[in-house]
Structure 1
Amino acid sequence: MTSRTALARAALPPTLAEPLDAWVEHLVAGRDLSEHTVRAYTGDVVSLLDHLVRLGGTRVTDLDLAALRSWLALGRTRGDSRATTARRAASARGFTAHLRRSGLTTEDVGLRLASPRSHRTLPDVLTADQARAVSEVPRPVAEDAPPADAALALRDALAVELLYGSGIRVAELVGLDVDDVDHGRRLLRVLGKGRKERSVPFGIPAEQALRRWLADGRPVLAREGSGPALLLGVRGARIDPREVRRVVHAATAAVPGAPELGPHGLRHSAATHVLEGGADLRSVQELLGHASLATTQIYTHVTVERLRAVHAAAHPRA
Structure 2
Amino acid sequence: MAIQPLTVRDEYITYIRLERNYSSHTVSEYTTDIDAFLSFLAVEGITDLNDVTYTEARLYVTSLYDSGLARTTISRKISSVRSLFKFASSRYGVTDNAFKSLHHPKKQERLPAFFYEDEMEQLFKACEGTDNKSLRDYAILEMLYATGIRVSELISIELEDIDNHLGIVLVMGKGKKERYIPFGSFAEEALGTYTEISRPKLMKQKKHDKLFVNLRGDPLTDRGVRHILSSMMERASLHSKIYPHMIRHSFATHLLSNGADMRTVQELLGHSRLSSTQVYTHITKEHLRDTYMNTHPRA
Residue 183 of structure 1 deviates from its aligned partner by 0.6
Secondary structure in 2 aligned to 1:297? Answer: helix
For 1:104-183, list aligned pairs within 5 A: 117-140=106-129, 150-183=131-164
User: 2:224 aligns to what?
Assistant: 243
Secondary structure in 2 aligned to 1:136? Answer: helix
Residue 180 of structure 1 deviates from its aligned partner by 0.6
**1:294 and 2:275 aligned:** yes
User: 2:252 aligns to what?
Assistant: 271
Contact 2:112/2:246 (<8 A) preserved: yes
Residue 224 of structure 1 deviates from its aligned partner by 4.8
For 1:90-105, list aligned pairs within 5 A: none
Q: Separation in 2 of the partners of 1:187 and 1:228?
A: 18
Residue 137 of structure 1 deviates from its aligned partner by 1.7
Deviations 1:160-180 (A, max 9, x none): 111111110011000100001
TM-score normalised according to structure 2 size: 0.64
Secondary structure in 2 aligned to 1:261? Answer: coil
Residue 253 of structure 1 deviates from its aligned partner by 3.5
Residue 290 of structure 1 deviates from its aligned partner by 0.9
Name the aligned partner's letter for residue 197 of structure 1: E
Q: Separation in 2 of the partners of 1:221 and 1:118?
A: 47
Distance 1:266 1:223, change over 3 A: same
Name the aligned partner's letter for residue 219 of structure 2: R
Root mean square deviation of aligned Cα: 3.3
Name the aligned partner's letter for residue 119 of structure 1: Q
Residue 221 of structure 1 deviates from its aligned partner by 1.6
Q: Separation in 1 of the partners of 2:163 and 2:285?
A: 35
Distance 1:258 1:127, change over 3 A: farther
Q: Separation in 1 of the partners of 2:138 and 2:207?
A: 20
Residue 234 of structure 1 deviates from its aligned partner by 1.5
Aligned identity (percent) is 36
Q: Separation in 2 of the partners of 1:116 and 1:184?
A: 52
**1:208 and 2:197 aligned:** no
Residue 220 of structure 1 deviates from its aligned partner by 0.8
Name the aligned partner's letter for residue 133 of structure 1: Q
Residue 223 of structure 1 deviates from its aligned partner by 4.7
User: 1:281 aligns to what?
Assistant: 262
Q: 1:191 aligns with which of 154, 169, 172?
A: 172
Deviations 1:224-275 (A, max 9, x none): 5441100011121110111111111222343345634221111111110000
Q: 1:228 aligns with which of 209, 223, 231?
A: 209
Alignment: residue pair count? 215
Deviations 1:63-89 (A, max 9, x none): xxxxxxx9xxx69x69xx96xx9xxxx
Q: Separation in 2 of the partners of 1:115 and 1:204?
A: 49
Name the aligned partner's letter for residue 215 of structure 1: E
Contact 2:127/2:137 (<8 A) preserved: no
Name the aligned partner's letter for residue 181 of structure 1: I
TM-score normalised according to structure 1 size: 0.60
Of 217-226 and 163-172, more deviation after overlay is shown by 217-226
Q: Separation in 1 of the partners of 2:258 and 2:157?
A: 27
Q: Separation in 2 of the partners of 1:131 and 1:245?
A: 16
Secondary structure in 2 aligned to 1:273? Answer: helix
Residue 205 of structure 1 deviates from its aligned partner by 0.9
User: 1:103 aligns to what?
Assistant: none
User: 1:306 aligns to what?
Assistant: 287
Q: Separation in 2 of the partners of 1:303 and 1:280?
A: 13
In terms of Rg, which structure is larger? 2
Q: Separation in 1 of the partners of 2:207 and 2:224?
A: 17
Give structure 2 stretches of 5+ with no counterpart. Answer: 1-18, 31-70, 76-102
